[in-house]
Amino acid sequence: MDAAFVVEWLNLVLRWAHMIVGIAWIGASFYFIWLDNHLHKPLDPADEAKGIGGEVWAVHGGGFYTAKKFVLAPEKLPPELHWFKWEAYTTLITGFFLLCLVYYYGAEVALIDPSVMALDKWEAIALGLGFLVLGWLVYDGLCRSAFGEDDLLLGGLLFIYCVIAAWALCHLFSGRGAYIHFGAMLGTIMVLNVYFVIIPGQRELVRAKEEGRTPDPKFGVMGRQRSVHNTYFTLPVLFTMISNHYAGLYGHEWNWALLILISVAGALVRVWFVQRHKGNQDPLVMAAGLVILAITAILSLPRPAESLGPPAAFAEVQPIFQARCQSCHAIKPTQEGFAAPPKGVVLETPEEFRARAGMIFQQVWVTKVMPPGNLTHMTDAERRLIARWIKGGAQ
């Protein structure tokens, strides 16, 4: 069986599974944040006597629902408690296998860019894994230190660390590989928050109730802090998951700064939604997020085209396309590891090249992300000739 065929189907299955369990995890997380912020005083005074601190009534799917939250715990635990943890764990597991398949197995294409840093495959993989481990160790260390007692100071230190991580990743890997590793680092932190802090805190709450003692409040404080962090990491992580579609960002010379700006914009938008749940949203928070997003778009604008020289004819660039592009972008690719043309883009006839001239200019000349990792060794002179052909009217 063809290896490229197997890899393509593994990619499909892992990506689909990752999306399914990720939606389940994030959806449950968003719902419980919404739920916690919409609690009202119980309508029945008897519920307050039972230790219920708030309730929510809702209608959905043709039925009425009520959710109640105890101030601490019910007088008697029910025979079955539902734990929300496997959604997070399976998101990490499927995401890690997908990272290994796309960015480590295919490191020469997706992760290594010799123009950024000439890395051997094993070096790139080791660095990628190192960032996932180091990201958690630094984050968890800061949270458990004295800095973790001041949320504002901790937030500032985490922001600085994220800036350093984004800069380092973008100076080690291809832009595409750097962006996905930044997201993977945050996603790993989110899942390990669940595994090492949030779930143990919930187990302590249950155990204390079973043993008839008051639970240690530190578990609740730590769990709430990590849950808040997870909430604000979510939108930046989701952006990195789709970032490989936007070469204008990850291929930009200031790609690390654009990544941080979009992450901040996403976090601010999430802050506004949390505020909205509580009924005290500040429009300036949403406005700040949108302004930062607009600034990011402006900063990513292509620079004015430099003087490229006289227009080139298609006959001059056709051999370049054949040598550098068509091994991947063909109906039947000859490049190892490709069972089909990337994103379904076929570039075999003059008409197909002309129809995608704008895209080719952006990715070959402006961002230089194609060929990926310069796999087919396109020279700067060849890139300029292609740019001359396109700017000359692509005739």
Q: Which residue has the tokens 């006597």?
A: 49
pLDDT value, residue 19: 96
Q: Confidence class of residue 395 from pLDDT cuts 50, 70 and 90? A: confident
pLDDT value, residue 306: 67
pLDDT value, residue 1: 62
**d(C-alpha 172, C-alpha 305), whole Å:** 28
pLDDT value, residue 334: 87
Q: Confidence class of residue 277 from pLDDT cuts 50, 70 and 90? A: confident
Query: For 117-176, what is each residue's pLDDT tens digit?
Result: 999 999 999 999 999 999 999 999 999 999 999 999 999 999 999 999 999 999 999 999
Burial class (CB in 10 A: 0-12, 13-18, 19+), 208: middle
**For residue 353, what are the CA distances in angstroms to 17, 185, 329, 335?**
35, 38, 11, 19
**d(C-alpha 385, C-alpha 143), whole Å:** 53
Query: For 335-378, what is each residue's pLDDT tens digit?
Result: 877 878 888 899 989 899 899 988 899 889 888 888 888 888 89
Q: Region 184-195: what's the mean pLDDT?
A: 97
Q: Region 4-32: what's the mean pLDDT?
A: 93
For the chain, the average pLDDT equals 92
Which residues have CB under 8 Å from 102's CB, separation 6+? 11, 110
Of 84, 94, 97, 96, residue with least CA distance to 33:
84
pLDDT value, residue 79: 87
Q: Confidence class of residue 197 from pLDDT cuts 50, 70 and 90? A: very high
Residue ranges covered by each domain of the chain: 3-31+83-242, 44-70, 314-391
Q: Confidence class of residue 237 from pLDDT cuts 50, 70 and 90? A: very high
Q: Which of the listed ranges 7-11, 80-84, 240-244, 277-281 does the model predict with the highest average pLDDT?
A: 240-244
CB 156 within 8 A of CB 147: no
Answer yes or no: is pLDDT of 49 > 90: no
Q: Which residue has the tokens 């832009």?
A: 175
pTM listed for this prediction: 0.89
pLDDT value, residue 220: 81
Answer yes or no: is pLDDT of 217 > 80: no
